[in-house]
Structure 1
């Protein structure tokens, strides 16, 4: 049994609990894990579906000039890193992260995972709830990518459920330009969420992506087009 090392803790604003960053020294490099209680939210060796979130969304918006993206949740940076090489030099990527400790870890013990992506001139990190960024956008984004929880069930922060409500989805639709896409990651299917997206006026496509290469469980990505 390889011993884990606790690298840091961070409170989720609004009484959502405490995140813990753990590491293990494995062959090929350190493994990082972000936990909430006994639930693993993120693992540095399971990045496939988070990368697919960026790839699938960018495929739908690259026909336009000066693309603007909003990423909800920095996490371990997999979505951001996957998006950057797909986007032109005039792109703007706003990343809204609710938990300050996550950004500190990204610039500290996990810096190697991010590969310098936080220093890319196209990237703007905001320490705020992604809902706040959405509410002031006013048709300002070509894509909104949401990976702010385990999906629409609001596991880590009950306030996240509002983002996935009818009101939250309508706000996201207003924040998108014409033909813009709302891309949402989830650990599991949710037929009720698919229905809400359609009720809010989106054209919806569901995709599945592996957590790690050809292995691991399937995660779900909704691509909802305005």
Structure 2
């Protein structure tokens, strides 16, 4: 059985940052913490697995990109320090958080400067990379989607499969998206439920929704969190 997380354990964001840029304080904690040692071993194994599988994953990503409307998926977070596309230097825990109906979604923006937590209505540019952090509470299922100014829905996470992500507590989600040159408002949604919802249900609920009025969205059996971005040229 895995050792439980303690109140002194760094957050997953801090542990991930340590893997990218060594932090002496985090290293000292890991040396004396069974839970974080297990986390570190799992991360190392995930990185090794990614190194073995990366040619196949890259080929699959290139094939899928041609059918994706406007989002280029990032490699899975499991790659950790072994993946060049992991651009994040996570923002401190007191970064701005935005949500509706009591749930929390943070959108991190990077790729043209230091990664940051986006503010509501923030202008983003082509080439910016997005990552998503959610804090839905215990035992939740999460879809991440976007709706553009035409009401068109794009699926962001999970990028494939038939079921939403299972999330326990607060978590930086694997993968992400890269913005193309399309301009106009874009609303990022986290759809959170206690029981897994199909993507078809989520897509239908968000299809054609007014980008600037999140209160208009109601999905039976789900709660939502949202961040509005303004997409524009550099």
Task: State the TM-score, normalized to the length of structure 1.
Answer: 0.31
- Work out which of the two has the higher radius of gyration on C-alpha atoms and give 1 or 2: 2
Task: State the TM-score, normalized to the length of structure 2.
Answer: 0.30
Give the structure with the larger strand fraction. Answer: 1
